[in-house]
Amino acid sequence: MGSKTRVGAPLNADIVYLTIRGSRLTPKVIGVTPSAPAGPSAIDALTDQRVHVVVGSAYVETFYPPTPVGLLVVAGRTINPLYKQGMSTVLAVRSGRLVLMSKEEYIASRVEGAFQVGPQLVKSGQVVYMGSLQFEPLIVDPRKQFVYSQKSQKAEEEPRATRAFVGFRTDGTLILGVSVQPVRLSDLALFVATKMEFGGLGCSEAVNLCGGGSEVLAFRTVRETQSYGNRTLRQAALLTFVRAGQ
């Protein structure tokens, strides 16, 4: 179910990711609530036999207890209000599907679960997070499929951190991933946007969830549970996937 790949320069990191296709798994946001203020950990979430995948987390103001930065909706109930300054993207479950939406779209929507995330890395197939870098399109074959060449000499100024991310392909496939080693967000954005035939993940949309030690990807296989990142840290919000029909 999971894939681990070593990505060369400029990323230079192991990326662990899952691909979720079709309607086999249903997304669900879990997190702090008035009755459970300590928040869930990934390993706690997987004790529920219905849960097969956990990825996260949301940004927090404090870890003890975990307090979300910005919006948190659990089971259709708003636990924390929308943060209107910055963090322009909302990761939401709407009508049983995982979607990315702007804050303006969220205000007009009814969702089952949601939390604010960012920055957005890829939009409409184009890298939109560049940090201190600048990119120019480089045509690598006659079909005009683009990767990006790095121009800037300021790459080392951008901080590195371990990261969790979610990507969307045009065919509806979801990509859930973490970087095992610290990476620059601009390099991660380039990797997830680059087409699969050129060694990337081929995402048309992608967003950073968190980083710096709170990121986690855990999943259940036939034989065992695998986890990468901080599986025991109690989180303000996590995105889980439940087997459809359970």
Residue 151 exposed, middle or buried by CB count within 10 Å (0-12, 13-18, 19+): exposed
* pLDDT confidence band for 9 (50 / 70 / 90): low
Convert the pLDDT of each residue in 184-237 to its tens digit: 999 999 999 999 998 899 999 999 999 888 999 999 887 889 999 999 999 999
In the chain, which ranges are continuous DSSP H helix? 42-45, 103-107, 185-193
Average pLDDT of the chain, as a whole number:
86
Block residue for tokens 């995105």: 239
Cα–Cα distance, 205 to 146 (Å, whole number)? 15
Mean pLDDT of 18-43: 93
Instruction: Kindly tell me the burial class for residue 68, based on how many C-beta atoms sit within 10 Å of its own C-beta (0-12, 13-18, 19 or more).
Output: buried
DSSP 153: S
**Contact indicator for 80, 31 with CB cutoff of 8 Å:** no
